[in-house]
Structure 1
Amino acid sequence: MSDHQLLNVAAHRDLRVRRERSVELGDGVMTALVVPDEFRQVQASYPILFRQNRERDGFVPLALFGFDAGENLFLADGRWDAPYLPLSIDIQPFLIGGAPDGDTTPKAVIDMASPRLSSDDGVRIFDREGRPSPYLEVILERLGALDAGYRGSAAFMDALDRYGLLEPFTLEVTLDDGSTNRLVGFHCIAEERVAELDAATLGRLNADGHLLPIYMAIASLANLPALIARKNRHG
């Protein structure tokens, strides 16, 4: 169970964060939330798919790491085997929250239940004088980028819905050992529908900053054969 606390030097001065990557540290996940602002970096390594959110009133974009629940094919020997780590993974055990008094200003929150936290192993959050460490300064920048990405993603998802640019995506993979994996419940960008858009619509999407992430999401599906190859190597 999570234990979210607003980050402050008085309570968290001596905490450290373990930066290696493993299932035991919470990296055993099949997908991670991504935002359109990072699609260019994400598409270099991972397929980008879309899934209905828990409230089922819209979709969220996800980077795909495996084919089964809890499977992350990018974990290898205590590291993450890809050049880019999605922001929602990279910032852990931190997240964005608001103040208890209802202040809407984004605040840095730490999950005290995270297995990444330690008192004697890992990178310091604050230095010995109580100042943010270089690591924390980077994390705060990434939290800000993620917050801005969250805020901008609603307009992007609205555009996909307005122009009918999502379609169901199902993938059935027969592995080298003869077993079959079936990926269901996801959507992807409908490439043919994008190609049918008229110049005026393409112009609006481009002016709103949506056209690039649309094409990045389409391009990301080229990573599926490499992900299947990882699955075959992992067995």
Structure 2
Amino acid sequence: MTKHQILNNSDHLDLRVRTDIGVAYGDNVMACLTVPPEFLQVQGHFPIVFRRDFESDKLSALALFGFENGENLFLEGDRWDARYRPLALAIQPFLIGRSATDGADSQVHVDMGHPRISQSGEGTRVFDENGMPTPYLEAIAEKLGDLDQGYRESTDFFAALERYELLEPFTLEVPLNDGSKHSLVGFQTIDERRLAALEGEALGALHAQGYLLPIFMALASVAQFSELVARKNARVAGG
């Protein structure tokens, strides 16, 4: 159960956060949000897929870690088996909050109901004894800023993908070595044929907006599905 509070050094002076890796800390997720500015880092490890929310009709981009809910094939006990950890995971249990006042600055919130909140006095301090941010909090604040900026920019990026019809429905049938099969449905990927068919004016516009690089990174990330299948086969074989 979430319990969001505005982070401050009065209420949270003694707050400690568990920075360990593991199921107990909420790392057993199939996917997490990713934003276009980090596609370059994400594509080297995880497939990037797009999903439309049927209620809001809004698109989002996801870094994929597994094939079913609760499955993270990059989670090896207490170890994260990749050289990059997407921002949306790396900042937990913190998040950006918005004030109801238009134009007000974003606020750092903390989810006091998150499993990373230490209940035992162990973990990394958020503020020091004098109420000053620790290096840990400073690093988190930088990641939060990057994630927030990327999230703000993603609306126009998604609009460009739709304007040039660069998304296509994606279905993946995953036959495993033990004879079982998994189906991945409900996502979209970059349509390589439509991208290749774009004329110079469209390519120039996408380049001017800084969208060509994340588009190509999302397209390149599809190659990571073979690694994801290999991880799944290894997990199945290991019981």
Q: When the two structures are superposed, what TM-score results if normalisation uses the length of structure 1?
A: 0.97
Which structure 2 residue ranges, 5 or more long, are not aligned?
Answer: none
CA distance in 1, matches of 2:56, 2:141: 31
Alignment match, 1:145: 146
The one-letter code of the counterpart of 2:169 is P
Structure 1 residue 80 corresponds to structure 2 residue 74: no
Alignment match, 1:30: 30
Alignment of 1:1-235 (within 5 A): 1-53=1-53, 55-99=55-99, 104-118=104-118, 119-235=120-236
CA distance in 2, matches of 1:152, 1:55: 21
Shift of 1:117: 0.9
CA distance in 2, matches of 1:92, 1:54: 26
CA distance in 2, matches of 1:209, 1:164: 17
Deviations 1:20-55 (A, max 9, x none): 111221111111000000000000100000011253
Change (3 A) 1:103 1:56: closer
Shift of 1:98: 2.1
SS at 2:128 equivalent = coil
CA distance in 2, matches of 1:4, 1:120: 20
Shift of 1:102: 6.3
Residue-pair matches, total:
235
Deviations 1:87-117 (A, max 9, x none): 0100000000023666631100000001111
Q: When the two structures are superposed, what TM-score results if normalisation uses the length of structure 2?
A: 0.95
4+ residue segments displaced more than 4 Å: 100-103
SS at 1:171 equivalent = strand
Shift of 1:59: 1.3
SS at 1:142 equivalent = helix
CA distance in 1, matches of 2:13, 2:194: 53
Change (3 A) 1:44 1:183: same
Change (3 A) 1:81 1:54: farther
The one-letter code of the counterpart of 1:126 is F
Greater shift, 112-121 or 163-172, is seen at: 112-121
Deviations 1:184-203 (A, max 9, x none): 00000001100000011000
For the aligned residues, what is the CA RMSD? 1.2
CA distance in 1, matches of 2:41, 2:201: 28
CA distance in 2, matches of 1:161, 1:104: 30
The one-letter code of the counterpart of 1:3 is K
The one-letter code of the counterpart of 2:52 is Q
CA distance in 1, matches of 2:174, 2:129: 52
The one-letter code of the counterpart of 2:149 is A
CA distance in 1, matches of 2:103, 2:58: 26
Change (3 A) 1:54 1:127: farther
The one-letter code of the counterpart of 1:190 is D
